[in-house]
Each structure stands twice: as C-alpha cells, then as structure tokens.
C-alpha cells in the first residue's frame, strides 16, 4: 500500500533483520538463540582456582545444552546448581587434563544453535633448562652471539641481559639484543670479556622472572706483529671485516602477518668497523608511521594494512663493503563479515528464503554450512540448495524452520553465525506495552513505538483516540513501525491507537501522550567581575513544567566541566534556590560558567563570564643602571600579570644595610603604564631595590631584590628644616630643628653649625658647632628679634647655604593695660566695647589678644539687691574693639579689659560702668478661659516671671474661628493698662462660637511673645449639618449629658481629644432621639425634668458655698485689705481655683470628707480645666507649646504644696501633662 496523506504503515520484515531485531515474543515458539557465551581462547593461570565456561541461550521451548571437546561429546564434570543454562566449571587440580577446544550446542524441537570453538590453554611454569655452558673464546674483532632461548609463558614476556649483580649489559650500535632474545656483538672487543652474562625472562601477568645459567666470554687481544696473547697492554686494531648479517640469515625472508598487527623487521650486522644499517622499501617510500629502533637495527610499523605489504631491504655497510637482505612482507586478514553477519528471518509459508553468508579474508575463507549443528550439503534434487556462500530454501515450508550455521575459516581463524529461519503464518502481535505513556515538551519531537511481530507483514495505522480519525499532517511522520510527531503542540496531548493487521488477524495498542511546558531560564547569570577572596554569586532561575518537579535540577559547569557540589564544610561551592555561590574566589575560578536547568525531558542553558580581579603579580627582571653619576640611577623591570585589573602605579622600595637593615621603605611611585624609574640616591649607602605593582584590588607582592648597589660618600644635600625659636624663659632663646635622617648624612661625622645675631643691631654672626639638634642662647634681652641659620656638614664637606629665619628671645607678662575704654550699648543684651591698645613694648611677647570682663552689679527693678554675676570673653589677635553678648536687660554693669600673651595676662584697665535699657517681658506663664456664657468669657492669667523692665499692662487679641475651615473670621484687640490686672471679662462675643485668645505682657520697650488659649461660647440649638461643641467632659465620670436635642432627630455624636487640632476621635456613633413618650410610659431616669432641676439646684448651692469660703479666707488674718505687691501671685492663684471650681459644680469634683470642706487638696487628683491643652489654629507645634494649661498640676508636677499664707510653693516648677477620658459604653436613645 502507498502512504498518501495518512500514516498507514506497512511493515516489511527484511531478510537481514536480526533475531534480536525481530524481538520475537517469548510466547511464540522459536528455535534457540545463543545470547551469551565465553569467547576463546581461555588461558588458565596457576593462581586461578576455577575456570568457568559459559553458554546461555533463549528459546521456546527452553533449550537443552550439550558440549563437545575436540569434536567429541563431552560431559562437564561440574555444573553449578545456580546455573540453569549450559555453564560449567573446571577446578584447578585437573585443568591439564581438560586442554582442548570446546563447543556449546543449545537445542529444542525447532532447532539447534552452536557457539564458536572455545579453546582452553593451560600454560606450564616457564623455566630455563639446566645446562652447562662452556666459555666462548673469540678473537678480537670477531662477532659473538649469546643465545637466550627464553621459555614460553603467559604473555607479555620481557627479556633482559644482566650480570650476576643485576647490572644491565650496556647496549649500543655494536652490542644489542634481538627480538628473539639473543645478545649479538657485531665485533668483539677485549672489554667484552666477562664470566656472568645472564639472560632473564619476566612474565608480568603471572609475576614470574626466570634466569638462564650464566655464560662466560673471553676475547683474545691482538699484539703487534699479529701474535695473539691472552693479555697485553700493547694492542692493535683488529683487521677490517666485510659486513655480514648475524640476523636474519640468507638473502631474503618472507614475513606474513595479519592486518592490524605490528610489523618488525630486524637486521643485526657483523663486521669491523661496526656496520651501519639503512632501510628502504622497494619501489616506494617507507610509511610515515615507520620507526627505527634498537640503534636503527629494527624497523617497526604499527597496525599494518594492505598498503604496508611489499618488499623491504636492509643494508649493512662499513669501510670494507656492504651486504643487503630483502624482506617480502605479506599482509593477510582473518575472516570477517563484509557488512554484518547473516540475520535471522521470519518467512511466509510458500515463499523463497535466501541465506547469504558474505565474508572476506586473506586467504579467502572456506564456508561450511550446518543445519541445527549438522553439516548441510547441497542436494540438487531437493528444494534446499547450498550454493557456495548462499542457502536457498525454495517454496519454504514449516519444516524448513531451523537454526542454520554459516562458518567461514582460513588459516588465521574463523567466524560463525547462527541464523534462525522461522517459516510460519501468524496474526500480528504487538510487542509494545499497552497504554505506554510518553512525554514531550512543547515544540519538541517525540516517537511513539508500535513494535509488531507477525507473518505475513502487517499493515499499521495510527488514529487519535478522541476522534478515531487517522492521524495525518506534515508534522506526523511514519518511522518504521512508530509514529513521530514534529514540533509537538499542546493540543497533541491525548491517546493514540496503533492498529496492526494482516490476513491472519489484527491487534491494537494505545499510547498516551502528554505535551508539557518547556524548561526555560528566565533569569540567566550575568557576567561579573569579582575580587579575589570574596564571594561570587551567579543567579540562574528557570521555569519548568510543575509535573516534572521531581526530575528538575540545576547543574553548573565551569569551562564545560561539571562543578562538584558538596555539603561538606570545606566545599567552596554552594547552590541555593538557583544561585551559585563560590566562596573565597581565586584565580582558578575564572572562566565561563554554564547554568543548565533540566528535567527528564529537556534542558535550557545560559552562560556567564566570571572574571576574577586580583592583585598584580610581582615584576620580574629588575635591572639598575647609572645615569650621569653614581647617585642617579635608572631602574627597569618587566611587569607581571595584572589579573584583569590595570596597574595604577608601581612602588619602588629600597633597603639599606647601614642604618635600618631589613626595613624596606618607599622611594618613588611610578605610573602604572611605565616600567622604569629614575632615582636620586643618598651617598655612603649600600642599597637594595625591589618593585611592586598596585591596582584597584590592592598592592601585589614585591619583586625579588636586586643585588646591592653602593653609593660613594658626599657632603650633605640639605640643611635642617622646621627650625623653631622659642623663649621658655625671659632671658633665653631656645633653638631646635628637625635633624637630617640617618640616610641623609651622606657620610660620616655629621654636625650642625648654628649661627645667630640680633636683628638690625649686630653685623657679625655668632657661630657654634653642635651634634645634637637643639641649642640654647642665654642672657638675652626680653623678646628681642634675632636672625638664625643652621648649616649641616660632614667629613666630606658642607651642605648648601642655609636660609635665614627670624625669631625672638624669651617672653614675659605684659606690663600695661589698654586705655580709653568705651562702651556702646547696642540693645538690651549686646554692647560694643572699644579701647586703645597697650604700647607694643609693654606687651613683652607675641600678642595673644584681649580679655573683656564684666560684672552685673544689680537689676534696676531691685536696686537694693547687690549681685555678683561675673563673666568674661577672650578675643584673640590684634584688635581695638569687640562685641559682648548675653547681657541682662535693665541692669547695671561694670567692665574692664586686659591684654595677654603666651606668658600670661597683663593688668586690667580702669573699670567702666554702664546700664542696659529695658526689654520686652517674657511670655505670661498661664492663661485660662472660664465662665463661658452666650456672649462673654472670663480670662485669667499670671504675670510674667521676668518683666525685663517696668510692666505697663497687657495686649489682648481675640479671634473668631470658623469651626469648619478653622480660619479666622474676625479679630479684635484690647489694651489692658493696669500692670496689676490678672483677669479680664471679655464681652460682646457671638453665641455658640469658637474663639482664640492671644495675651502679651508689655513694658515701655514693647510687648513680649503671646500666649494662646481657645474656648467656645455655649449655643442653644443645633443647626442642621453643623457641629456643636458641648461643655468639657468631666474626666472623672463615665457618662456625659447633652441637653437641648430635638425629638425624633438623627445626630452624630463624637468624643474628641482635648486639643482641637489633634483631629483624633476617641468615640463616634450615630443616634436618633425618641419622640415624646405616651402617657404612662417610663422614661430614662437621668432625663427626667425633676432630676435635672435637682442637679442644677445642687450645683448652685455648691457654688454659693465655694464663694463663701473664698470670702472668708480673703477677710481673715493677713489676707484682709489690699494685698501688697508681693502677694499678687497669691491672689492670682486663688482666682484660678475659683474659676476651676465654677467649672465643676458636681459633687464628685469635690472632696467628700467634712473635715476638708472649704480646703483645697494637694493630692494627685487635680482635675483638668475646660479648654486646657488646646493647640493653635495653625497647627504649629511650636506655638502650641505656648498655650496655657489650666491645671495647677501642670506647674507643680503633682508635688506642690501651699505655704502658710496660701501661696503655691514651686508654682512654676516643671510641667506635667495629665488628663484622662473614659469612653462611654455606647450610645443610648435619649428623650427630648
């Protein structure tokens, strides 16, 4: 049938298919097939305890086994019980009796298979025969042959010629060993005489060495006059001998060897002088593989083929003549199959069967045919014919089924093939497992198998199980019995059915295909530069089909070699979540890293280059050469590897052996692109130099030091520097300097010449030679200028001309004060002071500056109180004025000025007295708003602690605030002229409005900073959509009553923090007021009219009692009459307390003990006042700090006390912010 658009597959079983290729199900009856057997020859070694000869076959029925030995039936002596095949064993004790060639036959009712012959060899122990060797006597110049005749044994065999003392016999062109093991002497010399020539044969496989009996050689020397003597010192050269060949003999040798063997042709000459050997191939060149060994005497060609055959010639030649020998090299071959052995076949009854045995070899092999192990000859009268290398079964029948053997052999060996011929008709039997599962990644290729056994051959078709339609399309290909899908797609997943049929029947099998997502690296590793010694990280993250999770793995390779990943502590490689970490990177880690993400189906890979940056290698070949003088040299070097980071600079170091041997110091830096340096050296030193390179990673190792370089002595190159002239004593000048470094001496005997003279007074220098680096000039005038110079010298001369420096002799304290002190008051706290400097001569030293001292004598507010507040400031340098800050306003001061130098301060100037003007007052400490009514509010405050002048009154500003936008709607200002006023009743306010109050204290100089407070006037009824603010919630209660609500109205109730701008809601809910209750219905107790009236009466009564207490206190004892100014604070405090009590009319806000009625507790439970702790409208935190806190606890920190006269002790102590608000348990309906 033809394949046109569909995948209908016809299976044609070729005649050459193998038995294993047929894959005949074991359920089908079939002749035996040899599946394993021992190959020969078998060499039994003496340490082998047993020899096992194996033979195993498969067939149905199971085969039976028999053996032949040397063509005769053989019954194995021992068959192991664990073996059910033809395997048998031979024990060591009787191996020799089992030498021979074995063949295994496996038979069942359908035929017999056989193996090639298996030869068993049992080599004996190798040994030399015992023999008596007589000494060999030869004349000088004659040839010698010492025969070894080594015994046969297990290969390989090595031959050695040594002495009894196991010293190798020296071999050369004259003396050498042949491939036969004999030792050949081309001509004898007297030195060849010895008694212990021994031949050794070594067999490494059996670890055996045997030795031949020693042989003696005696060479007779020739005396002058051709007389022989056994020994004489007077010898002459042997006579010249024409070359001959000790090996091989004759003129021509035929050499036959197998293809693939090694060719060895040997010519060992004799003659004097020792002949030389040359080789050639007649009519051709020697093969390129030719080797000449054993001093040119052995021609060796490995693995010969037909082209190496031909005629070769060796020529032995010396001064006396030459001789030649010819080798006829013939390359033959073992029998071998031309392509492959003949294959088993399944044939349809009635067809012709051809079995061809195509074999080659040299000489041409003879072919023997067998049927079931028996010779099979040609019978012209039958349908079975044997035609040389072919067997023809015409019109084959079932009885022709058998195992046919073809054996081809020549003199070198044989080959055997068992061919199973099965003539039958059978319905298709599918060998592939049903519901075999296949997986392929998207876009990949997949082959689904459908192996079928049948006769005649079946027709095969594939259909998709879901559609039952024949699979077709350009992506679906028929490959033998299988279906191949190219570039698989997701919709290719599913079940496929293979249907095989012939005239005997049909069969089918299902294959399941799953197309999976491909593996893909989504985050490949990136090229990275890493510093040696750090940790490198390479990321590799991949996506893969989740069903393949069990087989997914990430493998890393470096330069194509897999990186070993280990959990051991000493491993430097770790992989975690796709990241490869290389610990302590070194240069060997540099390379190309490949990440391979793979599953059982596919893989993806990505590469990255890891470049390791390391310190540069040490420079090499450092050379020094002189320039214009021995102390000016040039250094050359060859840079080492920079290890992927360019060299930024080279550092030249030196070490000298005189002053600091072993210590290397930096001499010069050179740019990284330069490999030379010019060096200026010091004299009288023995230098060593080395160089190291530096890159961004760090400094590299230094080069090897070059040999010592010695510089001649010379005068010093420089004079001392950093000369210091100091006057520690008034009549002494101390001179010191930085001495020359030891290496700068340039020679022995270093000294310093110190020269000095008084500036502009003396012309002659006074000089002193010193070896130390300091000198003191005594009996000088105080602070007189001098010129000084210091020059270095050694035993080889003076240094350069020194530079002149100027200094002064010793200092003393100043003797005069500044004059004409004047002050200019700039403002209340700052003044400018000026003076006339003291005469320079009286300073008696380097001017350090001026000290300004001032004393605050008294405050003009309290002129009778004497103060002693002293302060001072220093102003360095030469100056005539200074600015003095930090003064107190409205005060009297006294001021003086003095000059100072390094030795101390001079006398103070005459004092100057001055006053500072008035300033503005400080902020008032407290401001409260209370008694809020519909159109008025009472403001109470305390005077400022520091008025900084005479208090004239207060400036009060109040601002109307829009509660929705928090913007100022209207502002008004009130001047309060009474300095003693501490409260103000502000009227004319709008009902139900929020106000902000600013209060400033004023003097004649102006008003101070404001203190802010916020409060609201109460309203009557709520307007729809507008927020109303209730009275302050009593923090001691767990409820709060809101009056004036409309019945049947929805309200949003919000409990807020005390500060308006905090915008923090503690509680919020929506409630609806009830409609007035019907008659007889009970209302909430707390909302009954009589209850509210009673509570109001109690509050009014409490207020009256409190007022009585205040009146009683004010009238009794020292409180009667108008209080003096010192008691204003007390009055202020009492008014505060009254205002506070007005805001707490309920009984819970007062003490319940009768003994304390009309007394004020100083306990911790002081209640916060209404409107306290409100922030500014602008939300400015800084301004918020100035807002008044009503509670007295804020000033007393809870620990304040009343004094005997009622004043508050520690009233302005540190503030504590307190307060609490309890959240209601929940909103309740209210009745209006």
Q: What is the pLDDT of residues 1100-1140, one digit of tens each?
A: 777 777 776 665 554 443 333 333 333 333 433 334 333 33
DSSP per residue over 301-367, as a string? Answer: ESS--GGG-EEEEEEEEETTEEEEEEEEEEEEEEEEESSSPPPPEEE-TTS-EEEE--EEEESPPEE
Evaluate if residue 1040 carries a pLDDT over 80.
no
How far is 1206 from 1116, CA to CA, in rounded Å? 12
Total residues belonging to the chain: 1232
pLDDT-based confidence at 433, cuts 50/70/90?
very high
| Separation between Cα atoms, residue 712 and residue 180, nearest integer Å | 77
8: which 2 tokens? 């209908």
Structure token digits, residue 930: 């209370």
3-class DSSP assignment, residue 658? coil
Residue 854 burial (CB < 10 Å; 0-12/13-18/19+)?
buried
**Neighbour tally for 981: CB within 10 Å:** 12
> pLDDT category, 1188, cuts 50, 70, 90?
very low
Query: Does the pTM exceed 0.85?
Result: no
Q: Which helix (H) or strand (E) holds 723?
A: strand 721-726
Phi and psi of 1094, rounded to 5°? -60, -45
* DSSP secondary structure letter of residue 1089: H
Tokens matching residue 805? 């420096």
Q: What would the pLDDT profile of 65-74 be if each residue is shown by its tens digit?
A: 999 999 999 9
Q: Can you give the pLDDT at residue 1096?
A: 66
Burial 541-551 (b: 16+ CB within 10 A, else e): ebebbeebeee
Question: Which three-class secondary structure state does DSSP give residue 984?
Answer: strand
Task: Please check the confidence at residue 519 and state whether its pLDDT lies above 70.
Answer: yes
Cis peptide before 50 (omega within 30 of 0): no
Res 1025: pLDDT: 53
The model's pLDDT over 151-183, given as tens digits with 9 standing for 90+, comes to: 988 889 999 999 999 999 999 999 999 999 999
Average model confidence (pLDDT) across the chain: 83
Numbers of helices and strands, H then E, in the chain: 6, 92
Is the per-residue pLDDT at 954 higher than 60?
yes
The reported pLDDT for the residue numbered 1079 is 42
| Nearest CA among 436, 467, 451 for reference residue 500 | 451
Whole-number pLDDT of residue 1087:
47
Residue 51 has pLDDT above 60, yes or no: yes
Q: Mean pLDDT over residues 253-262, rounded?
A: 95
Rounded Cα gap, residues 297 and 173, in angstroms: 8
List Cβ neighbours of 641 (8 Å cut-off, separation of 6 or more): 616, 617
- For the chain, give the percent of residues with pLDDT over 90: 64
DSSP state of 1194: H
What was the pLDDT predicted at 465?
80
The residue among 118, 65, 120, 69 whose CA lies nearest residue 92 is 120
**What is the tens place of the pLDDT at every residue in 299-351?**
999 999 999 999 999 999 999 999 999 999 999 999 999 989 999 999 999 99
Mean pLDDT of the 409-414 span: 93
Q: Residue 751's pLDDT is what? A: 94
Hey, what are 316's tokens?
A: 């032995």
Backbone torsions φ then ψ of 776, nearest 5 degrees? -115, 125
pLDDT band, very low/low/confident/very high, at 223 (cuts 50, 70, 90): low
Residue 97 CB: number of other CB atoms within 10 A?
A: 10
The pLDDT score that the predictor gives to residue 1103 is 78
Query: What are the tens digits of pLDDT across the range 818-865?
Result: 999 999 999 999 999 999 999 988 999 899 999 999 999 999 988 899
Packing angle of the helix pair 1089-1115, 1128-1142 (nearest 10 deg): 170
Please state, for a pLDDT cut of 70, what percent of the chain lies above it.
82
Q: Identify the CA nearest to 416 among candidates 65, 73, 122, 105.
A: 105
Long-range contacts at 1205-1210 (CB < 8 A, ≥ 24 apart):
1205/1118, 1205/1119, 1205/1127, 1205/1130, 1206/1113, 1206/1119, 1206/1130, 1206/1133, 1206/1134, 1207/1127, 1207/1129, 1207/1130, 1207/1133, 1208/1129, 1208/1133
């Amino acid at each position: 049938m033809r394949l046109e658009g569909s995948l209908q597959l016809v299976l044609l079983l070729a005649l050459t298919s193998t038995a294993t290729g047929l894959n005949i199900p074991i359920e089908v009856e079939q002749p035996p097939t040899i599946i394993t057997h021992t190959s020969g020859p078998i060499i039994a070694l003496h340490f082998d305890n047993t020899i096992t000869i194996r033979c195993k076959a498969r067939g149905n029925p199971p085969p039976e086994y028999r053996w032949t030995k040397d063509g005769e039936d053989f019954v194995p002596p021992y068959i192991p019980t664990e073996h059910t095949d033809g395997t048998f064993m031979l024990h060591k004790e009787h191996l020799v009796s089992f030498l021979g060639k074995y063949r295994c036959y496996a038979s069942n009712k359908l035929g017999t298979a056989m193996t090639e012959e298996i030869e068993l060899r049992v080599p004996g122990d190798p040994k030399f025969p015992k023999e008596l060797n007589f000494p060999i006597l030869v004349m000088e110049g004659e040839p010698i042959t010492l025969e070894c005749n080594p015994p046969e044994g297990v290969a390989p065999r090595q031959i050695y010629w040594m002495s009894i003392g196991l010293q190798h016999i020296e071999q050369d062109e004259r003396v050498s060993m042949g491939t036969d093991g004999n030792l050949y002497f081309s001509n004898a010399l007297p030195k060849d005489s010895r008694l212990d020539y021994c031949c050794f044969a070594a067999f490494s496989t059996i670890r055996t060495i045997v030795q031949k009996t020693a042989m003696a050689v005696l060479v007779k020397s020739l005396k002058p006059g051709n007389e022989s003597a056994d020994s004489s010192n007077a010898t002459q050269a042997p006579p010249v001998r024409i070359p001959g060949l000790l090996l091989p003999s004759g003129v021509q040798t035929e050499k036959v060897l197998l293809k693939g063997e090694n060719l060895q042709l040997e010519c060992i000459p004799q003659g004097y002088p020792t002949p030389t050997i040359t080789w050639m191939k007649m009519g051709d060149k020697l093969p390129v593989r030719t080797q000449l060994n054993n001093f040119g005497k052995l021609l060796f060609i490995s693995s010969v083929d037909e082209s190496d055959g031909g005629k070769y010639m060796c020529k032995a030649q010396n001064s006396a003549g030459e001789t030649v020998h010819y080798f006829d090299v013939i390359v033959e071959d073992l029998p071998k199959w031309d392509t492959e052995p003949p294959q088993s076949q399944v044939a349809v009854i009635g067809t012709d069967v051809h079995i061809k045995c195509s074999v080659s070899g040299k000489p041409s092999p003879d072919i023997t045919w067998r049927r079931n192990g028996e010779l099979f000859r040609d019978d012209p009268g039958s349908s079975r014919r044997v035609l040389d290398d072919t067997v023809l079964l015409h019109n084959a029948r079932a009885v022709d089924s058998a195992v046919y053997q073809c054996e081809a052999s020549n003199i070198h060996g044989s080959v055997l093939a068992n061919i199973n011929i099965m003539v039958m008709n059978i319905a298709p039997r599918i060998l592939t497992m049903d519901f075999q599962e296949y997986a392929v990644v998207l876009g990949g290729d997949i082959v689904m198998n459908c192996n079928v056994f049948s006769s005649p051959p079946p027709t095969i078709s594939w259909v998709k199980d879901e559609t039952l339609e024949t699979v077709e399309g350009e992506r679906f290909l028929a490959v033998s019995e299988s279906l191949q899908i190219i570039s698989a797609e997701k919709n290719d997943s599913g079940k496929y059915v293979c249907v095989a049929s012939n005239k005997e029947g049909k069969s089918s099998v299902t294959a399941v295909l799953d197309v999976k997502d491909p593996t893909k690296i989504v985050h490949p590793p990136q090229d990275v530069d890493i510093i040696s010694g750090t940790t490198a990280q390479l990321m590799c993250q991949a996506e893969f089909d989740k069903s393949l999770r069990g087989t997914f793995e990430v493998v890393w390779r470096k330069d194509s070699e897999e990186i070993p990943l280990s959990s051991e502590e000493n491993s430097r490689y770790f992989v975690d979540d796709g990241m490869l970490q290389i610990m302590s990177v070194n240069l060997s880690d540099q390379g190309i890293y490949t990440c391979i993400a793979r599953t059982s189906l596919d893989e993806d890979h990505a590469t990255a280059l890891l470049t390791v940056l390391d310190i540069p290698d040490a420079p090499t070949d450092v050379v020094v050469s002189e320039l214009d003088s021995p102390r000016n040299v040039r250094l050359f070097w060859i840079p080492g590897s920079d290890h992927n980071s360019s060299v930024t600079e080279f550092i030249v170091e030196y070490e000298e052996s005189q002053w600091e041997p072993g210590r290397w110091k930096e001499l010069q830096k050179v740019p990284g692109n330069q490999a030379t340096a010019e060096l200026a050296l010091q004299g009288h030193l023995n230098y060593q130099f080395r160089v190291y390179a530096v890159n961004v990673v760090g400094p590299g190792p230094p080069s090897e030091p070059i040999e010592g370089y010695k510089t001649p002595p010379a005068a010093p190159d420089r004079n001392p520097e950093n000369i210091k002239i100091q006057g520690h004593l008034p009549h002494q000048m101390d001179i010191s300097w930085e001495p020359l470094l030891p290496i700068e001496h340039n020679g022995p005997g270093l000294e310093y010449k110190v020269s000095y003279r008084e500036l502009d007074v003396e012309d002659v220098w006074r000089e002193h030679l010193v070896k130390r680096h300091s000198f003191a000039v005594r009996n000088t005038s105080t602070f007189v200028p001098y010129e000084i110079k210091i020059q270095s010298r050694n035993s080889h001369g003076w240094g350069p001309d020194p530079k002149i420096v100027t200094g002064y002799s010793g200092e003393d304290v100043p003797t005069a004060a500044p004059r004409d002190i004047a002050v200019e008051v700039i403002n209340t706290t700052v003044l400018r002071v000026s003076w006339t400097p003291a005469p320079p001569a009286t300073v008696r030293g380097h001017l350090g500056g001026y000290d300004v001292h001032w004393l605050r004598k008294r405050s003009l507010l309290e002129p009778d109180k004497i103060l002693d507040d002293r302060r001072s400031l220093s102003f360095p340098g030469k100056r005539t004025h200074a600015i003095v800050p930090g003064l107190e306003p409205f005060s009297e001061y006294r001021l003086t000025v003095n000059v100072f130098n390094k030795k101390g301060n001079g006398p103070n100037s005459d004092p100057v007295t001055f006053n500072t003007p008035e300033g503005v007052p400080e902020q008032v400490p407290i401001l409260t708003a209370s008694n809020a009514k519909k159109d008025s509010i009472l403001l109470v405050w305390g005077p400022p602690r520091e008025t900084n002048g005479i208090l004239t009154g207060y400036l009060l500003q109040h601002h109307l605030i829009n509660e929705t936008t928090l913007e100022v709607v209207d502002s008004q200002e009130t001047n309060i002229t009474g300095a003693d006023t501490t409260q103000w009743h502000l009227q004319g306010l709008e009902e139900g409005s929020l106000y902000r109050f600013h209060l400033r204290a004023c003097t004649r100089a102006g008003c101070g900073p404001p203190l802010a407070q916020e409060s609201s006037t109460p309203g009557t009824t709520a307007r729809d959509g507008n927020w109303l603010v209730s009275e302050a919630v009593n923090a001691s209660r767990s409820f709060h009553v809101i009056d004036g609500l409309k019945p049947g109205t929805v309200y949003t109730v919000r409990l807020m923090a005390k500060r308006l701008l905090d915008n923090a809601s503690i509680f919020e809910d929506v409630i609806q007021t009830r409609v007035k209750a019907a008659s007889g219905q009970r209302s909430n107790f707390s909302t009954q009219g009589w209850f509210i009236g009673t509570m109001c009466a109690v509050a009014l009564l409490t207020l009256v009692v409190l007022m009585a207490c205040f009146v009683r206190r004010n009238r009794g004892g020292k409180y009667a009459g108008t209080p003096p100014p010192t008691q204003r604070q007390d009055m202020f405090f009492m008014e505060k307390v009254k205002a506070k009590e007005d805001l707490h009319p309920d009984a819970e806000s007062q003490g319940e003990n009768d003994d304390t009625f009309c007394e004020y507790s100083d306990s911790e439970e002081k209640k916060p006042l209404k409107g306290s702790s409100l922030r500014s409208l602008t939300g400015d935190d800084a301004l918020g700090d100035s807002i008044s806190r009503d509670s007295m606890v804020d000033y007393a920190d809870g620990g304040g006390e009343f004094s005997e006269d009622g004043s508050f002790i520690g009233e302005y102590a540190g503030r504590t912010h307190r307060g609490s608000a309890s959240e209601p348990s929940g909103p309740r309906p209210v009745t209006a």
